[in-house]
Amino acid sequence: MDRRSTVILALCVLVSATAAAAPSPTELAKKHYDLGAAAYQKGDFPTAVREFSLAYELSEQPDILFNLARVETKMGHEQQAIDYLKRYLEKRPDAQDAPAVRAEIEARTRALEAAQRERAAQAEAAAARHTAEAATRQDRAGRAGIALVATGGVLLAVGISLNVVAAKRAEAVSAGAGMPVVWAGSSFESDERLGTSSAPLGIAFDVVGGAAALTGAGLLIWRATSAKAAR
């Protein structure tokens, strides 16, 4: 045998040995199924789903779909579980447990729809509460804004009046400054005291009144903006 024939023979033997050593799809499917079953027993449901899915891809055994439905149930994935049960019936419509599986699908579908309606109702109620709370806040802000604007206006009016009094008393004091004390009389000192006390009070009322009015106006603007955004 020449060298070339020897190499060809060796390659054929190697290929045959490799083919014999490679596991069949059925063996691989069983391996993944066993891994999935072991993961299920341990509570490792994501791994169980992965291994059962690989086992089904290799074997296309309908019973594995049933197992996948059970794992998805454990994970709280109701819709996925229902879908696997439907696929199981598509593959085995005449299975002995087909009536029970159909009844389970119907029951689980009704329960899932009821849960979805409940979640939708809860979301709607939460939205209604949020709207009502927002309306209450806006109403309170509106009342507070009106009260502050009104109070601020009153305080400003008082402050302006005090400023006017202070100005008049200052004029009176200025007019009597050059007069002898005996002619000016006690009114000179009274005007001086009243003018001195009225000026800072007027400024204080103006500041507080202006701040109250501005705050009230801000609340009213916020209320109007919020109400417009809620529409």
Among 148, 169, 170, 158, smallest CA distance to 203 is for 158
H or E stretch at 224: helix 186-230
Measured CA to CA, the distance from residue 172 to residue 67 in angstroms comes to 103
Q: Which fold has domain 22-99?
A: 1.25.40
DSSP 8-state symbol, 97: T
CB 149 within 8 A of CB 220: yes
The 10s digit of each residue's pLDDT in 66-119 is 999 999 999 999 999 999 999 999 999 998 999 999 999 999 999 888 888 888
* Backbone CA torsion sign across 55, 59, 63, 68: positive
Along the 231 residues of the chain, how does pLDDT read in single tens digits?
443 343 344 444 444 544 445 788 889 999 999 999 999 999 999 999 999 999 999 999 999 999 999 999 999 999 999 999 999 999 999 989 999 999 999 999 998 888 888 888 888 887 778 777 777 777 777 777 787 777 867 776 776 776 766 666 666 556 555 444 444 444 545 555 555 666 676 677 667 767 766 787 777 787 777 766 666
Residue 135: both structure tokens together: 């309306």
3-state secondary structure of 96: coil
